[in-house]
Amino acid sequence: MIISEKLCNDITVISIKGTIDAKTAPELKKFDSASAADSPVVIDLSDVDFLDSSGLGALVGIARIKRDHGGNVTLACMNNKVRKVFEITQVYKLFDIYDDVEAATLNAVKK
């Protein structure tokens, strides 16, 4: 799994490439974003080809920490496989999910 970070419309976009499972989820949890704790973040999942409950838990954990500090996490560009995992567990209710990174960053700016 490769995690990279960039800025788009002044919003931090964390791009994840590869698989998020029990092996790689701890790396995601430990990832130290350059963004401030209370600032919004968009996680780009367009290059994530597989995500299981460990990956889901990692994303939920990141969201919880962000929201505890007044920030927010928006998800963008899920493929069908990843979307189904969110749907089965109903975790989609915890996130704003966009199909476009730029639209997600614009929304984060507005909020």
Residues near another protein (CB under 8 A) are 19, 21-23, 50, 52-54, 56-58, 60-61, 63-64, 77, 80-81, 83-94, 96-100, 102-103, 106-107
Smallest gap from residue 104 Cβ to another protein (A) = 8
Per DSSP, the residues of the chain read -EEEEEEETTEEEEEEEEEESTTTHHHHHH---SS-TTS-EEEEEEEEEEE-HHHHHHHHHHHHHHHHTT--EEEE---HHHHHHHHHHTGGGGSEEES-HHHHHHHHHH-
- Of the candidates 106, 105, 101, which has an alpha carbon nearest to the alpha carbon of residue 45? 101
- If the CB atoms of residues 5 and 57 are measured against another protein, the closer one turns out to be 57
- If the CB atoms of residues 35 and 98 are measured against another protein, the closer one turns out to be 98
- If the CB atoms of residues 14 and 51 are measured against another protein, the closer one turns out to be 51
Smallest gap from residue 91 Cβ to another protein (A) = 6
- If the CB atoms of residues 34 and 88 are measured against another protein, the closer one turns out to be 88
